Amino acid sequence: MRAPRRACTTVAIRRYVMVWLGYFAEIPGITMKQTTILFAAIALAPLLHAQQVAVSLSSPNPLVMSSIGTGAVNNWQIPGGQLANFGYYAPQLAGAGPAFLTWTTQAASTIAALSLHQQISAGAGVTASVGENEFLFIVSATAPINVTLKLESLLHASAGVAIPAMTVDVGDDGTIDYTQATVFYEQGFSIGNSPLPIRITMENEVAVTGLSWSSLFVTVKPKNNLVIQPAAIGCTGASPDLFCDPTFVGAGVEFVRQPLFSLPAVVVLGLGVQPMLLPISTPVAPCLLLPRPDAVITLFANSHTVLIPPAVRPVTFWGQGVAMDQAGTLLAMDGYRIVAQ
């Protein structure tokens, strides 16, 4: 029962905002400005061919950990093959401290990602290791899109312990593009006609008393030729209360409300600025709505995608959230300036 009430409340605030702005008249035969028609086509058109990005993680061989010493040999492994989106393993190995092997994958409208973590420690007279473990991470899309791949890692080894080993083969073509010694990696790719495979190996070994751990972060984001700049700070008291990020869908942007910010809200879009003080403003604490109100879009599911296809580029526009509190007062949320080349 709660979802319908939220939807009705969101529709009501959208209508209230538009009327308060003097944008739509409460009479039949509403007309729109030409710029509003353009924005309605961009922001409100059904996503008939929504871009979908998917990820998969597998291991061609069993994933292993082991310890040798103190009269015992421990070998631990899980079978190779397709892996779940999330994995967490922490076996207790004889003579060794806690051993960890964890991973998380993510595929969303604004990001595809993988995080891997291995850790092992050992006491005197024990040799313990995690790996060498091999992973194959594949990013695919339903239609061609441009993306940016970024690789980052964190490593730690106690005094006298070997530096963790790591290799990344982007494209799975036999060429190592990233190792534990690489400082920075960021590269653009086009995916969709074919996926982007990324082969990874990681190994941690401790032969003296000490600790070794390593983390690898693989991030794939849309490369939409956009500049997104903060333009306004909201007066809800919950800033940041609205985010704006490039999306894989329609080479556009996605406005996302902060999960903990539960007030019904809309986003005002404008091809220009027309600063306006909301009624809650005071000389000491102004509550400013920045965009010219060319379109108002609802945040039914806490987010909304604005498509920016080639036909409307280049274009610069502004987007800012407006929320309504329980007393019916309009509150400006955070705002952004978006430049699409």
Instruction: Note whether 242 and 256 are within 8 A (CB).
Output: yes
Q: Any idea what DSSP says for residue 49?
A: T
Over the stretch 163-174, which tens digit does the pLDDT of each residue have? 999 999 999 999
Over the stretch 4-29, which tens digit does the pLDDT of each residue have? 444 455 555 555 555 555 543 333 33
CA 116, distance to chain mean position in Å, is 17
Integer Cα distance of 163 and 213 in angstroms? 9
How many Cα atoms within 13 Å fall on the side-chain side of residue 234?
26
In this structure, what token pair is assigned to residue 286?
A: 């102004």
Average model confidence (pLDDT) for the chain? 84
Which of 77, 79, 85 has its CA nearest to residue 59? 79
pLDDT band at 192 (very low <50, low <70, confident <90, very high): confident
- pTM score, two decimals? 0.83
pLDDT of residue 18: 56
Q: Indicate if the pLDDT at residue 206 is higher than 70.
A: yes
Of the chain, the percentage scoring pLDDT greater than 90 comes to 52
Question: What average pLDDT does this structure show over 95-110?
Answer: 89
pLDDT band at 307 (very low <50, low <70, confident <90, very high): confident
Which of 225, 258, 237, 242 has its CA nearest to residue 338? 225
Instruction: Note whether 324 and 330 are within 8 A (CB).
Output: yes
Integer Cα distance of 252 and 308 in angstroms? 5
Question: What average pLDDT does this structure show over 224-245?
Answer: 91
Mean pLDDT check: name the lowest of 39-43, 102-106, 125-129, 214-218.
39-43
Integer Cα distance of 105 and 58 in angstroms? 11
pLDDT of residue 51: 62
User: What number of other Cβ atoms are within 10 A of residue 37's Cβ?
Assistant: 13
Q: Indicate if the pLDDT at residue 139 is higher than 50.
A: yes
pLDDT of residue 16: 55
pLDDT of residue 39: 55
Alpha helices in the chain (DSSP H): 2-20, 34-44
Instruction: Note whether 119 and 99 are within 8 A (CB).
Output: yes
Q: Which residues are CB-neighbours of 329 under 8 A, at least 6 positions away?
A: 279, 280
Q: Indicate if the pLDDT at residue 324 is higher than 50.
A: yes
